[in-house]
Structure 1
């Protein structure tokens, strides 16, 4: 097998401990690094066809009735492009976590969830760059620690497998924006929201192609296009999976 460099673009929804949101979603869209330019050009072409400004940032929160044809084509592009894949973790209720019982902080648990999400993607002999959306001023410390945690978890002490863990601004990366869109769909469905017909249509598009339960239940291990892991706390606490 020829070794490839793979880029993973990661985002998250409602990951903070006290944000009053029950469900949390972590996820990433990934592909060969060599495909990034082609994918970026393809997204630019979709924008052109729908008269969307080149600098417009694709986000789940921006899905609306008027923009629905544009977003439906983006979802279809992800589904049809064989180089693009998604891996995510759904935590349906983080309010029941008991960090004290497991002698950890919320940040410790957060890093564990990221490892659980990414370990499905990591595979020898390939190497990886992990890109995270910039969220807060503590980002640089978080990124350094996450790189250390991920490398140690797979015994990659010389960083030959995980080359880089780096923050980027979401408006700079169409693939990261696709991750935001898919994570948003998982979160919206898991929370049982019904307020936007446009968002419900995108969810229906995903379910028609991938299966009715694709956004709420754990996927089979062999589901490579769209793979979701539903993480449940053990006995009302945040034990291991």
Structure 2
């Protein structure tokens, strides 16, 4: 029996004209047989720290720092993996490539996932629901991916409160976006970023090596196409 992996995907500041400089797509992944254990461990951490509700980067404050600090340590002590691609929206030129922003969105998700999908394994891909268009986006993306990857067994949208690992994606991606935008107003957030960089031995403002599996960053250069 082949292995199955779950991917929990989220995006940040991804709207074309939202006034933010970067578009980020990312995921946290786990082998399926570890999923129950991860959910249980994170829920236990929430109870221990008296943390109520969803984990979100936007909720990180001084009082919540001990919980988020333990969460980051847990991620790096586990076999969980994180990957993100970062797009400088100043480079966008959809007209030159005869595409819509939705077409580009599918292409970028393909870039996020294609190096991590193995034909001999199965994959469940979950997207965080954003708005009423999320179902259409998921259908389009599934059609786009399944042209090349028959191993994508399931692709669907879920609400972030349903998944601890989707929430973890939000936290890690939020730290990345905060860092590359040069925001440093909240000490607790700065300290979480410093902890991530200490674990990775890598500055979050640049790409990691292609072979990096644990915490992989790809600052994509649109001058080569897309």
> Could you state the TM-score of these two structures normalised by the residue count of structure 1?
0.91
Alpha-carbon distance in structure 2 between the residues aligned to 1:197 and 1:104 = 41
Aligned residues: 226
| Runs ≥4 residues deviating over 4 A | none
Task: Tell whether the 8 Å contact from 2:202 to 2:208 is kept in structure 1 after alignment.
Answer: no
Query: Which residue of the partner structure matches residue 213 of structure 2?
Result: 224
Alpha-carbon distance in structure 2 between the residues aligned to 1:22 and 1:210 = 25
Query: Which residue of the partner structure matches residue 73 of structure 1?
Result: 70
Q: Any gaps of 5 or more consecutive residues in structure 1?
A: none
Query: Which residue of the partner structure matches residue 131 of structure 1?
Result: 126
Query: Which residue of the partner structure matches residue 182 of structure 1?
Result: 172
> Could you state the TM-score of these two structures normalised by the residue count of structure 2?
0.97
Alpha-carbon distance in structure 1 between the residues aligned to 2:161 and 2:191 = 24
Tell me by how many angstroms 1:212 deviates: 3.2
- After superposition, give the CA deviation of every residue in 1:76-129 in whole Å (9 maximum; x if it has no partner): 1101112x00111011x2033111011001111111110000012101311101
Alpha-carbon distance in structure 1 between the residues aligned to 2:202 and 2:38 = 27
| Partner SS state of residue 222, structure 2 | coil
Tell me by how many angstroms 1:233 deviates: 2.2
Q: Equivalent of 2:110, from 101, 108, 115? A: 115
Q: Any gaps of 5 or more consecutive residues in structure 2?
A: none
Alpha-carbon distance in structure 1 between the residues aligned to 2:202 and 2:208 = 11
RMSD: 1.2
